[in-house]
Amino acid sequence: MRRALLPAAALAGALALTGCGSGSDSGSAEAEVSVSSSYMPQPVSADMAAGFLTITNKGGVKDELTSVTSDVAGQVTMHSTVGGAMEEQNSFAVPAHGQLVFKSGGNHLMFEKLKHKPAQGQKVTLKLTFAKSGPVTVEMPVKSATYNPSTGH
Ligand code: CU
């Protein structure tokens, strides 16, 4: 009889663990993206501009940035920078409990076929589309051409 009790206790313990695990995860079983630190350096060229931002995923599931559009540009493309050379990407992963960072010298957005040249002090509206979270609208401020986010100038 004693021997029979051991497996039963072990099984009960396993069930309790499973229940506890799924319960504590329920709040983050979805991707939860937000955008911060967005800016566009005032472009030097009349037909092309760059944009930078940080995407944070507080959820427990990874998401994917699949497209970017803006009313000021005919097309917005997403680029990575690998070994100093930029490469166009069709999508970027946003890891669970992680960040996707677009910054000067690294990943960046390129606004092509500009309808007008954005000037410092203006805002550019863009729409980011995520595979799981859907569309997110961002008001991206236009900063000086030499703006550095770490100094704020
Ligand atoms: Cu580029």
Report residue 3's pLDDT band, with 50, 70 and 90 as the boundaries: low
Q: Which residues surround ligand 1, an ion (CB under 5 A)?
A: 79, 86, 110
Ligand 1 geometric centre to CA of 111 (Å): 9
Ligand 1 geometric centre to CA of 28 (Å): 33
- SS3 of the chain: CHHHHHHHHHHHHHHHHHHHHHHHHHHHCCCCEEEEEEEEECCCCCCEEEEEEEEEECCCCCEEEEEEEECCEEEEEEEEEECCEEEEECCEEECCCEEEEECCCCCEEEEEEECCCCCCCCEEEEEEEECCCEEEEEEEEEECCCCCCCCCC
Answer yes or no: is pLDDT of 35 > 50: yes
The CA distance from 116 to 151, in Å, is: 28
How confident is the model over 36-45, as a mean pLDDT?
96
How confident is the model over 77-89, as a mean pLDDT?
95
Ligand 1 geometric centre to CA of 9 (Å): 60
The CA distance from 44 to 24, in Å, is: 50
Going by C-alpha positions, the residue among 94, 68, 95, 71 that lies closest to residue 79 is 68
The CA distance from 36 to 123, in Å, is: 14
Ligand 1 geometric centre to CA of 153 (Å): 23
Q: What is the mean pLDDT of the chain?
A: 88
Ligand 1 geometric centre to CA of 88 (Å): 7
Ligand 1 geometric centre to CA of 97 (Å): 27
Answer yes or no: is pLDDT of 130 > 80: yes
| pTM score of the predicted model | 0.81
Q: Could you tell me which residues are beta bridge partners of residue 114?
A: 73
Ligand 1 geometric centre to CA of 10 (Å): 57
Ligand 1 geometric centre to CA of 68 (Å): 14
Answer yes or no: is pLDDT of 74 > 60: yes
Enumerate domains of the chain plus CATH numbers.
Answer: 27-143 (2.60.40.1890)
